[in-house]
Amino acid sequence: MAVETVPCTAYEDQKPGTSGLRKSVRHFQQPDYLQTFVQAIFNAVPELRGGLLVLGGDGRYFNREAIQVILRMAAANGVARILVGKGGILSTPAASNLIRKYQATGGIILSASHNPGGPDGDFGIKYNSSNGGPAPENLTNLFFEHASKLSEYYITAIQPVPLDKPGHYEIEGLRVEVIDPVDDYAELMATLFDFERIRALLAGDFSLRFDAMHAVTGPYAQRILEQTLGAARGTVMHFEPLADFGGHHPDPNQAHARELMELLYNPRKVDFGAASDGDGDRNMILGHYFFVTPSDSLAIIAANAHLIPGYRNGLKGVARSMPTSQAVDRVAEKLGIACHETPTGWKFFGNLLDDGQITLCGEESFGTGSDHIREKDGLWAVLFWLNLLAVRQESVEDIVRRHWADHGRHYYSRHDYEAIATPAANTLMTHLRQQFDELPGKVIHGKTVCQADDFTYHDPVDHSASHHQGIRILFEDGARLIFRLSGTGTQGATLRLYLEQYEADVKNHDQDVQAALAPLIQIAETLALIRTFTGRDAPTVIT
């Protein structure tokens, strides 16, 4: 094999965030930018030499070109075998399953998740370890260390691998297998859920719409929902993965899945609506005129897991990210199981899952999952809800309201201030930290603060510590304000404000969410001076 050694200049901005390295497409198209980071991965994971690598992405712009570069570099770095999704398509949960099922050394997933695509959009790359989960912090730090010092990378001049038809290719000692990206994932789902019962539900007068948002889950949802479970043709909307996601933002929330929202909030009844994001790991759940918050969805899944075949033996425990509402905590307490609070980022669930301490986990950012893989899984959550609806024979709204009656309602919302100047965002956070000592015991707009801190997570498995994971302002009545700077954007900073207020009395469960949270919104402005520091009169997105 003719291996070419290419001199390169290291980049200083290749430190992965919570979900890998994300930048604009144009940033990735800089000379050797992609190659530098990929070589850093190969240098940091020597086990890939002679190993099996899973490779694919969400189909966004630059996906195909990046795959060909990675194949050439993998051959030069001694990888023995690669599984790549047909067309370069592979959802994040499907990639996690493949890594685990075929005992791969790891996987490279090309995605910027819910960020926009196209030549003026975003691109991303992340590495998943042999457990199928996102690389832990010690490994991503090693990627950055190698990338920042890199002076050369290795590549071969092999011809492009045909990606549009399943097949086997032998290239300079590298075996490349182009596989159907759906087969193994669909097989896994059939072991977890009662497909016969879901078929019976869909064969009746039950109506369903799934919005794939021209992203990766289109082929998965069409195969499972329409072909396997018998949903009507056309149930899956925007099913074709497009490089620019049809010009839309592939984020499954009320703001970006507008067409789906209009179908569900319409007198012409649609019983159940759902959507997933760019790489297939997020989900949104809707009933007729009814939105299910991701935090409530996680709690309801935990409370009803015993009704689902794959979870009938009970839950070992549950976990949620710190900003996620405490709704699942109350379910765990009632079930007598542990509930863990972790930083944002799915990689923090990995140790708990691998150690057998939890079965279910979730984040407020529309991500839910279980121990079947090591990633959040959008279509899995949709199938869970369909199975639950088939068993309980109630509407989405009825199931949620019964849950509130049993456990109380957590009024919850996230306010995002996107693309604000990074210095302004950092100054705001510093301003909050400077108030920590004086806040406990202070009464603000009728609420008494009991604790103010910057969340530190101590991993119970490997005993590592993760600092500065979000500012918490906790109140005596159980209310919470969380301030956090997101690591998933590519321009400026995104300030996320999380607001939570618990209400036990069922008589007060019909308030407008923002109205119920109005006192907390006022307190947040008083403490953080959001308008002053950001220059924004309102959030960019409210979910």
Q: Which residues are catalytic?
A: 113
Contact 198, 393 (CB under 8 A): no
Query: Helices 195-203 & 378-392, crossing angle to 10 degrees?
Result: 70
What are the φ and ψ backbone dihedral angles of 89, each rounded to 5 degrees?
-90, 130
Give the Å distances, CA to CA, from 134 to 18, 99, 130, 374, 506. Answer: 9, 11, 9, 8, 40
Which secondary structure element, helix H or strand E, spans residue 335, and what is its range?
A: helix 327-335
Q: Please name the residues in contact with 342: beta carbons below 8 A apart, sequence gap of 6 or more.
A: 319, 320, 321, 322, 348, 349, 352, 457
Residues 6+ apart with CB under 8 A from 383: 189, 192, 193, 198, 224
Tell me how far apart the alpha carbons of residues 313 and 447 are, in angstroms, rounded to a whole number. Answer: 42
Residue 96 structure tokens: 């996690």
Q: What are phi and psi of 504, to 5 degrees?
A: -85, -35
CA atoms within 13 A on the CB side of 433: 12
Retrieve residue 539's tokens: 């959030």
β-pair type (338-342, 174-179)? unpaired
Q: How far is CA 157 from the centre of its chain?
A: 35
Token pair of 443, please?
């009464």
Task: Tell me if 81 sits within 8 A of 114, measured CB to CB.
Answer: no
Cβ(499)–Cβ(472) below 8 Å: no
Beta strand pairing status for 317-321 and 290-292? unpaired
Rounded CA-CA distance 132/106 in Å is 7
What type of residue is 393? Q
Distance CA 86, CA 16 (A): 27
